[in-house]
Structure 1
Amino acid sequence: MASEEAEDWLASGERVLVEAKPHWKVFAGLLLAGLVLGLVLAALGYWHAGHAEQVARSEHVRANLFAHRVAQHKTHGLSLEILGGVVFLVFLVVGFVRWRAPRYFVTDQRVAVRRGLLVRAGTDVPLGKVNAIRHRQGIFDRLFKTGTVSVSSGGLRAVRLSSIRDPQEAQAKIYEGQRAAAQPVVPRYPSPPPPPGGQFGSGAGGFASPPPAPSAIVPPVPVPAAIPAPSAIAPQARRANDGPPVPPWARDEPDSPGLNL
């Protein structure tokens, strides 16, 4: 089940496969380093302040300046002690922030990293764009069963899941999410069956052909009868009282109906 922090930015239907944070050894390592460095500085300051008179004598200062020189060395020793305490506090705060600020999430859609305590920042890599996944385990990582997983996406900077428990499990979950993202999306509701009746085309399984609209029906246009040409009219038969036939060259041509002479 996703935490309240993850529920603020999860998409609808998105599932969290892995939710991790850095191992406590990150905080312990920085705390130990700050403690050692702070103790060394504080010990140097304490020794310097305790042996201020011996240091002043070794410098062969004049008697009227001896007390002033001793006071200076004590001040320097006290400054080193304060510096050691400040260094320890800085390592303490940095270690706590590096341990508590990052949060790593692997969902069925992306790899998400959220950082910050007061100011939050995040980086998301969709699983469909992941090109390479690498994990690394050092000597101390093998002792604590932790590791770092790097997720590369094209030319972008790799996203690192640093010092998480069971890095192999996180890598396997990323592969699982990639396979789920690569599967085709099944429609939530099936398509309705085709209505019975006529079909478009010659195959079976189309949709019914709609009847034509009344306004789209064009009545047939009547075609006038062809008028025969004058040359195609058969000559009339001659009768008995018509006289002899007139040769063609002796016939009178009728006047043109368009001319009035």
Structure 2
Amino acid sequence: MGYPEDVLAPDEQLVLHRHPHWKMLFLPIVTLIVATALAGFAGGLISRKAEGTTRSALLIAVLVVYLFILGWRCVAPVVSWKSTHFIITDRRVLVRQGVLTHTGIDIPMSRISSVQFRHGLFDRMLGTGTLIIESSSSEPLEYDDIPAVQQVHALLYHQVFEVERGHSGHSGRGGWDDHGGYR
């Protein structure tokens, strides 16, 4: 059983499960490449210029700085991306985030009064955007970097419409897969 199924009621059906768009991982990947190149260059320079214990101390310092940058700017964003879940079921919208501090919000379909999306030119090229959900009792909630935001918007609108009409919602015959297509 994967993560989304763990939080569902026994007769609740998963319609969509997404992580944020991969564009969130672009800067960590660039940081990994640049930091590795700089650490390799610094290590090579130190190996050629320094001797003895000075060389060892400087190489250890370069390694410590490299590992710190890797943990802070590469590993942490990837773990954050992997631990962020946007889930739509036939009854509610769930958002779960975090590893050490876990946060979540559930919005029942019957409470959703409006669903909107927003994406600029760059987001449209990447196939991502911001999903805006207004519920009947709070300010709009915005979820950035939702992959295939237009399809998610349409699916969520359909789910809300089905709940309003009194249908059971998702029939289990289809739904949006992780690649933006209908299955």
TM over 0.5: yes
Higher normalized contact order (CA 8 Å, seq sep 6+, divided by chain length): 2
Q: Deviations over 1:97-130 (max 9, x none)?
A: 1221111111232111122346643211122322
Which residue number corresponds to residue 86 of structure 1?
A: 68
TM-score under structure 1 length normalisation: 0.50
Q: For 1:117 and 1:93, locate their aligned partners in 2 and report how far apart those are by CA, in whole Å.
A: 12
Q: Is residue 46–residue 81 contact of structure 1 (8 Å, CA) maintained in 2? A: no
Q: Deviations over 1:233-256 (max 9, x none)?
A: xxxxxxxxxxxxxxxxxxxxxxxx
Q: Is residue 42–residue 81 contact of structure 1 (8 Å, CA) maintained in 2? A: no
Q: For 1:33 and 1:159, locate their aligned partners in 2 and report how far apart those are by CA, in whole Å.
A: 28
Q: Deviations over 1:197-238 (max 9, x none)?
A: xxxxxxxxxxxxxxxxxxxxxxxxxxxxxxxxxxxxxxxxxx
Q: 1:98 to 1:138 in 2, by over 3 A?
A: farther
Q: Do structure 1's residue 151 and structure 2's residue 133 form an aligned pair?
A: yes
Which residue number corresponds to residue 104 of structure 1?
A: 86
Residues paired across the two proteins, number? 167
Q: 1:185 to 1:45 in 2, by over 3 A?
A: closer
- Is the strand fraction higher in 1 or 2? 2
AA partner of residue 146 (structure 2)? I
TM-score under structure 2 length normalisation: 0.67
Which stretches of structure 1, 4 residues or longer, exceed 6 Å deviation after superposition? none
Q: Do structure 1's residue 124 and structure 2's residue 106 form an aligned pair?
A: yes
Structure 1: unaligned runs, 5 residues or longer: 53-70, 187-261
Q: Is residue 42–residue 83 contact of structure 1 (8 Å, CA) maintained in 2? A: no
Shift of 1:91: 2.2
Between structure 1 and structure 2, the one with the greater Rg is 1
Q: Is residue 135–residue 167 contact of structure 1 (8 Å, CA) maintained in 2? A: yes
Q: For 1:134 and 1:45, locate their aligned partners in 2 and report how far apart those are by CA, in whole Å.
A: 51
Q: Do structure 1's residue 27 and structure 2's residue 9 form an aligned pair?
A: no
